[in-house]
Structure 1
Amino acid sequence: MKLRRRRFLALAAAAAAWPAMPRMARAQAWPSRPVRIIVGFPAGGATDIQARLMGQWLSDRLGQQFIIENRAGASGNIGTEAVAKAPADGYTLLQVVTPHAINAALYSNLNFDFIRDIVPVICAARLAYVVVVHPSLPVTTIPELIAYAKANPGKLNYGSAGHGTPQNIACELFKMMAGVNLVHVPYRGGAPATTDLIGGHLQLIFSPLSESIEHIKAGKLRPLAVTSATRLDVLPDTPTLADFVPGYEATGFAGIGAPTNTPADIIALLNKELNAGLADPKIKTRIVELGGTVLGGSPAEFGVILAEAIEKWTRVIKFAGIKVE
């Protein structure tokens, strides 16, 4: 794993290695036609929304269409393979999200190597989850949840969007650190899991904020904690899970990647323009509404985030024995 991490960070830092004159000439010529941003998940979710925010910004700034193309399936692997095998010319990009850091430990027969085949461009945002329970559950805090779970081992069901999804991994990390026994009920997507939680068929979910915030506001779900290191602006009265389970943090991310060997001047231009977009008040507000914290920064900094996430979630997956069907 350390060798893979070093290789990934080396790829992320490769942008500095290109001569100045060829970079300038290529950047002036690109983009001369529409650019695709591949999203490996269905339209309408937080991943898709953030990709469209960035795509529209780039379209307005660079004078060519940045088209969002949804290639859903296999936890994002179908879309990732399409980008990994695309020409490294800057005209095919990837919306990089948390499952990309998880899949390497779950799938052994992929036709691509994420670390080898995708180079990071920018991490747009960190994304938190919120621990939500059905109002009938007699707990209002994380300590009460832990005590209730320990008094009723194996009797609390938590839902997720499926085996190996961020919701599943985040809750397994909680189980590992808090020493509780919760039963995983996987669904084919987050929406049906949320529906069953509201209906009382589940007791809790580590939910993306975009899937639960309206139900929280309506009183249909009770928030106990957020999984980020700090509180969220959209849920200022909800504590962090780390307030009660020291050291706990489970955050996702959303950013942009490109096929390895994409010209470094194109990577640099994309990074510059996307950092400018993340400073725009309208984009920042929308990301916060989705439960995110705006980041930005260099390709190398995104490389560090990805490498650390891959190492962390690989440990959790192995500890929990998570396998995909």
Structure 2
Amino acid sequence: MSPVKMLAPRRALLAGLLAAPAVGRAQEVFPARPLRYICPFPPGATNDNVSRVMSRALSVRLGTPVVVENRAGAGGAVGARLVAESRPDGLTLLNASAGNLTIAPHLSNVGYDPLRDFAPIAIAGESYSVIAVTPSLPVRTLPELIAYGRQNPGVLNYGSAGIGSAGHLRGALLADAGGFEAVHVPFPGSAPAANAVVAGDVHFMIDPILAPHVVSERARAVASLGPDRWALFPNLPNVSEHGIGRDWPTGGWFGLLAPARTPEPVVERINREFNAGLNDPEVDAALRRFGLRPEKVTPAEFTARLARDHAATGRVLRRLNIA
């Protein structure tokens, strides 16, 4: 055999040996750079608190910085649109409150389709919430709040983190179920809205961020929302115990999403590490302080939940004539 013919198979073998590590390196590239963790609400909001807890947990699991960026505006739509328009490489993620994807898109042209423009990855948990009133309002229970609203038509108002937020819809649902009128007062985030309740500038609000204000007695809780009683307030009745809220859309989750067309292996890797982070006792405790019940789901389960909640919320918004 000539030297040239002998070299050919050797070159082929060498090329194969060199190619194999290259494939391995390609699979290990993610994450090649720090991740952007977009919080579509301002600092201090519940979404922001959850973003910071989970970004730290994910950073430890992925071995690279995961940096929170607050991109607030339009009830969370600004940050959500930024992620929807980002490169689908898994390096730009959205920490969505359910309202960004199940409420706001029904109310205005937010610039993204919640069912087509994102790749759902994981859920941090289902959110508990509290209905709290300003201390100067002469009510101590939910029936008293409803009675006050009926007896004083057009007097009550309620704050929220913005038009299209979960607090916006829940306030409207409560007024509808109670048979009274309440004016919606949107704020640029839940923190300033909660401060307005404490200051007496708005009468009530439905949001987990009010929990520390209730504990410090700067706001008064009259009921909780969630799958059951909130462990932080074991003596506080759930709205369902008053015969309302059972038919309300859930939509209380905080979820992690990537742009659509993000490679499936990347989505699965982030899901795996995110869910592993939920097992950390410190992460679990922090999320529960913010009113979440940690919950591990697959990307497929999250995708199905998003679709169900989006449809159910649309039906409720049309019934309430909220547009």
TM-score by length of 2: 0.85
**Could you tell me which residue of structure 2 aligns to residue 257 of structure 1?**
257
Q: Contact 2:131 / 2:204 at 8 angstroms: preserved in 1?
A: yes
Distance 1:188 1:55 in 2: 23
2:224 aligned residue: 226
Task: State the 1:258 CA deviation.
Answer: 0.8
Code of the aligned partner of 1:90? G
CA spacing shift, 1:95–1:200, aligned 2, 3 Å: closer
Is 2:292 the partner of 1:292?
Answer: yes
Is the 1:86–1:92 Cα contact (8 Å) retained in structure 2?
Answer: yes
| Deviation at residue 105 of structure 1 after TM alignment | 0.0
Provide the rounded CA distance (Å) in 2 between the counterparts of 1:295 and 1:60. Answer: 19
Asked whether the 8 Å contact 1:26–1:266 carries over to 2, the reply is no
Structure (1 or 2) with the larger CA radius of gyration: 2
Match of 1:3?
none
| Count of aligned pairs between the two proteins | 299
Kept after mapping to 2: 8 A contact 1:37/1:94: yes
Change (3 A) 1:301 1:77: same
SS at match of 1:229: coil
How many angstroms apart in 2 are the aligned matches of 1:192 and 1:261? Answer: 36
Give secondary structure in 2 for the equivalent of 1:184.
strand
Q: Which runs of 4+ in 1 moved over 6 A?
A: none
Shift of 1:308: 2.1
Map of 1:233-312 to 2, 5 A cutoff? 233-246=231-244, 247-249=246-248, 251-312=251-312
- 1:33 shift after superposition: 1.9
**Match of residue 15 from structure 1:** none
Q: Which amino acid aligns with 1:209?
A: P
What secondary structure is seen at the aligned counterpart in 2 of 1:115? coil
Question: 2:154–2:181: 8 Å Cα contact kept in structure 1?
Answer: yes
Q: Is the 1:163–1:186 contact (alpha carbons within 8 Å) kept by the matching residues of 2?
A: yes
CA distance in 2, matches of 1:196, 1:89: 40
Counterparts in 2 of 1:55-70, with a 5 A limit?
55-70=55-70
CA distance in structure 2 between the aligned counterparts of 1:297 and 1:24, rounded to whole angstroms? 28
SS for the counterpart of 1:114 is coil
Question: Which residue of structure 2 lines up, in the alignment, with residue 137 of structure 1?
Answer: 137
Shift in alpha-carbon separation, 1:37–1:193, aligned structure 2, 3 A = closer
CA 1:236 to 1:308, structure 2 compared with 1: closer, same or farther past 3 Å?
same
Contact 1:39 1:51 in 2 (8 A): yes
Note the residue ranges of structure 1 that are not aligned, 5 or more in a row: 1-22
Which segment is superposed worse, 128-137 or 241-250?
Answer: 241-250
Q: Secondary structure at the match of 2:103?
A: helix
Q: Give me the whole-angstrom Cα distance separating, in 2, the residues matched to 1:47 and 1:26.
A: 34
Q: Which residue of the partner structure matches residue 104 of structure 1?
A: 105
**Closer/same/farther in 2, CA of residues 183 and 41 from structure 1, 3 Å limit:** closer
Distance 1:134 1:248, change over 3 A: farther
Partner of 2:189: 189
Separation in 2 of the partners of 1:279 and 1:273? 10
Deviations 1:251-270 (A, max 9, x none): 52112111111111111111
CA contact (8 A) 1:38 1:95 kept: yes
**What is the correspondence of 1:7-86 to structure 2 with a 5 Å cutoff?**
27-86=27-86
Q: Post-superposition shift, 1:32?
A: 2.1
Confirm or deny: 8 A CA contact 1:172 1:316 kept in the other structure.
no
Question: Which deviates the most, 148-157 or 276-285?
Answer: 148-157
**Residue 122 of structure 1 contacts residue 299 of structure 1 at CA under 8 Å; is this kept in 2?**
yes
Give RMSD over aligned pairs. Answer: 2.3
State the alpha-carbon separation in 1 of the partners of residues 266 and 24 from structure 2.
9
For 1:114, give the aligned amino acid. Answer: P
Shift in alpha-carbon separation, 1:226–1:27, aligned structure 2, 3 A: farther
Contact conserved, 1:122 with 1:298, CA < 8 A, in 2? yes
Q: How far apart are 1:139 and its partner, in Å?
A: 2.3
Q: Give distance in 2, aligned partners of 1:283 and 1:213.
A: 18
For residue 164 of structure 1, give the secondary structure of its aligned residue in structure 2: coil
User: What residue identity is the alignment partner of 1:105?
Assistant: H
Q: CA deviation at 1:25?
A: 7.3
Whether the aligned pair in 1 keeps the contact of 2:95 and 2:257 (CA below 8 Å) is yes
Mean Cα deviation higher: 28-37 or 224-233: 28-37
Deviation readout 1:175-205 (Å, 9 max, x if unpaired) = 2223222232333433343333223333221
Q: What is the identity percentage for the equivalent residue pairs of Structure 1 and Structure 2? A: 35
Instruction: Please say if residues 242 and 248 of structure 1, whose CA atoms lie closer than 8 Å, have aligned partners that are also in contact.
Output: no
* Aligned equivalents of 2:45, 2:152: Cα separation in 1: 34
Structure 1 length-normalised TM: 0.84
Task: Tell me how far apart the structure 2 counterparts of residues 89 and 128 of structure 1 sit (CA, whole Å).
Answer: 32
Cα distance change of structure 1 residues 185 and 45 upon mapping to structure 2, 3 Å threshold: closer
Residues 229 and 242, structure 1, Cα contact 8 Å, conserved in 2? no
